[in-house]
Structure formats: C-alpha cells, structure tokens
Chains A and B, each alone.
Chain A
Amino acid sequence: MNDLHLVMHGLAIKKHGSAEDVAGVMGLEVETVRETLTKLVAAKRAVEAQGRYLLSPAARMLLDADYGRFYEDLRASPAFQAGYAGFERLNNTLKQLITDWQTIPVRGERTPNDHSDEDYDANIIDRLGDLHERAEEVLNKLASALPRMAIYREKLQRALEKAEQGAIAWVSDAKIESYHTVWFELHEDLLRLMRRERSE
C-alpha cells in the first residue's frame, strides 16, 4: 500500500484530522504524512484549515476506487474474514455496553447515567475488560493479515486502562480517543476495506 493511499484513507477516518492524527491511526511517520498532505493540498485533493485537513469530493471518489483495487486479496483472506466476522459479532455487544454505560435502566425506561454510582460503573468497565480480551483475539486475526490493525489494539488497550484507573471519560467521550471513539474508527476502517455499508 502506498503512503498516498494510506494518508487519504486515514483522513477519511479522521476527518478534520491533523497530520499527527492521521500518522497515529495509520502507523506512519508524522513527517511522511505532513509531506503527503502538502502534496494533496497542492493537487487540490485536500483542503487545510488551521492544521486540520479534509478530503475534496474528487479525492473521496478516487479513494473509493482504491478500495476496490487494493484490498481484493485482503478481502479474500480467511484470517481477515474471520477477524471481520468476529468484529461484527462483538460490535453488538460493545454497542449495548456503551448504551448501558451512558444510561441506567429504571423500570424499562433509560435515564442518563450521571456516574454517581461507582459500583454500576465498575461493573460496566469490568464488562468492557472482558470484551477487550475477546477483541484482542479478533484484532490479532486482523493484524495477521494487515499488520497496521495492531494499532487499534494498542489504542483500545490504552483507553481501557485509563478507564480502569478511574479516568472514566475514556469509555465513551466523543472528543478524545476513548474506547468508543477508537472502536468506531476501527469499524469505519473495516467497513471501507470490506466495502460494506454501515447498517446504523
């Protein structure tokens, strides 16, 4: 895979991302990403505002065509297929878990979790740890076919450990690389590689 493609792919996942964001999620050197982004901007394939980048509509079409071309082998790989199927299974568990984290059921009606009940929160972080152990297996399968997938394992692990240590924003805060943020970026990454549509 060439750097140009990876930078564009990274920018599709980290929309409005900085060079550091794209480098972090794609496992590239920041300098390489910066140079590539400069080229993309010069070729009008991306626009820059305050150090953050956005793909142009034409670049998005080119990128979509790339997925068809570059990942045929990957899509046919049994390890990657097994990993992807495993991810989709866990995805439902994760979504329910995040819902349970954000809301507390009171007689069937869900009310926002204000995180005043430490036991309730601890139980969900425990479930998240359990899910993470299963996610590691899935990510190992994915990484055996596409090594950069290991980055997600590390990012998820980092978010989990912070949450376990009491920094609970790392479960689902949308503005940081919380477990939920990273998980959905991974999902977006996989959907693009597999050329699937998001169902919800």
Chain B
Amino acid sequence: MTFISLQFIVFFMVVTLLFFRLGNQKGRIWLLLIASCYFYMSFIQEYILILGGTIVIDYFAGIQIEKSEGSSRRFWLILSIIANIGTLAVFKYYNFFIGNIHTGLQFLGKPISLPLLKMALPLGLSFHTFQALSYTIEVYRRKQTAERNFVVYALYVMFYPQLVAGPIERPQNILPQLKVFRQYDWNNVKDGLARMLWGFFKKAVIADRLAMVVDRTFQHYPESSSVALAIGAVFYSFQIYCDFSGYSDIALGAAKVMNIQLMENFNQPYLSRGLSEFWTRWHISLSSWFRDYLYIPLGGNRHGETRRKLNILIVFLLSGLWHGANWTFIIWGLLHGLFVLLLTFSIKKGKESQTGFASLLQVLFNFMLVTLLWIFFRAENTGIAWDYIKTIFSFRGGSNYIAINSAEFIFSLAAIGTMLWREYYLPTHFIRNNKWFYIYVTFMVVACYYLGVFAENQFIYFQF
C-alpha cells in the first residue's frame, strides 16, 4: 500500500474517522496498531514476523536495561543492538557480503560458491531498525523511561505513517504523544490534509514526471548527449527530493490530522551553501541519528582534528551503507564525507568575504556537487556512474531524446520552480479560512489528477 494509491486514501479515511470516533486512548492505540499491521502486511505479509520479533526483544530489553545496573545493563543494550543490526545484516547485507567474497576469491583464482539468501528485503527495515535502536539507546542513557505498555511500544515502532520510510523518530517525541488522548482539532485536520495534498503533488506531479526523464537517461546513457545526461542528473536531484520529501509530507500530514506531531525531515536542502549545511537540511532524522548515536559516541570533535575527520568519514561511510548494500551507495557516502571535509575548510577560509552574490554562487555550486554525487546513488553500479559523469563533461553530441516533449519539459521546469517558490515563501500551511481551504483542496485534487503521472512508481526510499 503506497501512499499514492486508492487503497491508502480509503484506508486513511476509515482509520482516521474511526480514530476520532473512539472515546478512549486505549482503543485508539489498539486501532492504530492493528491498522499499522494491516498497512505493513499489505506489502509482504510474512515479514511482520521479523518486525514483531525485534519489537518483542527491544521491548523486554528496554525494561531490563532500566532495571539493571553495570554490566547487566550493558548486556541488554548489546543484545538489543545485535538483534536489530543482526536482522539488518542478514536481510540487507548478507548477499552483498557473500557476493564480494565470491568476487574476491574468484580474482585470486580460488572460486567458491557460498549460498545466497533468496528473500526480498523487508520493507523499511533500515528505518524501523534505527527507530527501535534509538529507543533502547535512550533508555540506556537514562534519557527515556522504559515503556511498560507493549501495545504503546509496538505502535512507537509501527506507527503506519512513518513505518516504512521515516522520519526516524525518537522515543521522547512519539511515546508521550501516544499516551495522551487528543481532542479533534479542525485546524490540525486542515493543516494535515493540506500537507498531505502537497506531498501527493510533489510525488505524482513532479517526482514521477521527472522519473520518466531520469529512467530514460540512465537506461540510454551510452547513446545520449552530454546535455541529455546533464538534464537527467539535475532532474534526478529534484525527483529524489520530491519523492522523499513528498513521502515525508504525507507522513507528517497523516499524523498531524490525528494530532500527532512527527519530526521534520527536510528544510529546503538545495538552498544549502555547503555539504555540511546540506546534511542539516536533508533527511534530518537520519543525519541527526548518526550524529547522536555514532558521531558523538565516536568522540565527535573532542579528540583532535585527525580523529574528527576520521569520525566524519566513518559516519558518511555508514550512512552510505545504510542506504543500500551496493558499492554505489558506499562511494556516494564516502564522497560526501570527503567533500564535507574539503569544503568545510574552504568555506571557513572564505567566510569573511561572503556577499549575497557569493552566497548564491555557493548554493549553485553545492547543488551541482550534490547532483553529481546523486549519480552514484541512482546508477546501477559504479562503472555506469563514472561513465555517466565522464560523458556529461565530455560535452559530446548524441541523442537528445529525454522521453518527454518540449511542452512537458517546460512544464517540468515550471513545476520545479513552483515547488521551490512555494516551499521558500510559504513553508507551512497558510490557509485558516474554511472557504479558501476548500478551494485549495479542490485545486490540488484537480491538479494532482490532471497533471499527475500515475505509473505506480514506488517511493525511492521504500527500498531502504
């Protein structure tokens, strides 16, 4: 059940209306948990057992961590980490690891054949694994009390709006909200619905339209011209933004309708003047997770410059690996780390002489850099990524066909411009008047219907 589907729209309507019709919080929690189970099982039913298993382990680990002291406390934390990272390692990284062993031994002339796991990756595994980990770590740090109510804890991990693609929540934000009975608030409903519609628009009208160009250029890069490939790369930057932030908008909006506030995941990332700033604006819940649970525990910047740089590289390497078991993601993460180190140095040096124009140039330069790095993220393998980038800079001729005609190309640019304008000037929902709200809803529904590209494209981040 993707967010861009009739099933989700009907499901959301039924669950939300039932939620407000229930007169006590216990009933609401059960409703949301059952609905979340149904939501997750609509992808692959059996995988709920994996999710359920880690939930049970983390629930008991949390209680034991709170009760224990010293090494016992540490033991339960490690158990929780092993359960979560172990699940992730088996389902996400095992085949990648074995594949590389095969390649390495074949290269050495000693080929062997180890068994591969023939299972699809459970949907959103990386997201809910990290969310579960943040709970046990926070309990261990004594910043969060262990949750005694199993249903509430299960819902913390499984809350359907953010179950398969985040935001990766913290227990301090979500758990208290799940326990308080919240009254129906029409303003929240309006805000939530408006945000969901904006997410639908970004996904269906922009991301899935740009996907036609991106798919074409990445599939036909050997015969495409440099201009076509550059357009494909730039469009991918906006496709992935509209796809992922569109998902987050729908998730935050759906929760907001029920008066539950999820954390923001994006803050106009393409307006960043450097990569460090970019990572404070892009997928905020993940970058802050790595900061809080990896970078700072590794020592952060407290042990000298060399150690700080090493820590940054480790974080970006693991961030790349988090996205997928493929060398493309690893290189993408490492390159981000390297450029963060290099450009932080240059920005510090040039800090004094910044003007408005210089800032604009920095934004453009950063956008181009991010776009080039996205090519690794999108390409099937690193060879294709290098070829794609080399071809862009070879300024060669070739096929300029990009799967859409000039009218649709101009429309795509206009849609991107509208999206950037709207998010810059009107970052939050702004309509309080009911009449204008209904007009806005009607306009957005009509726009999504007539201009949307409904090709049943899955959200890009669902694969992680």
A, B assembled together? no
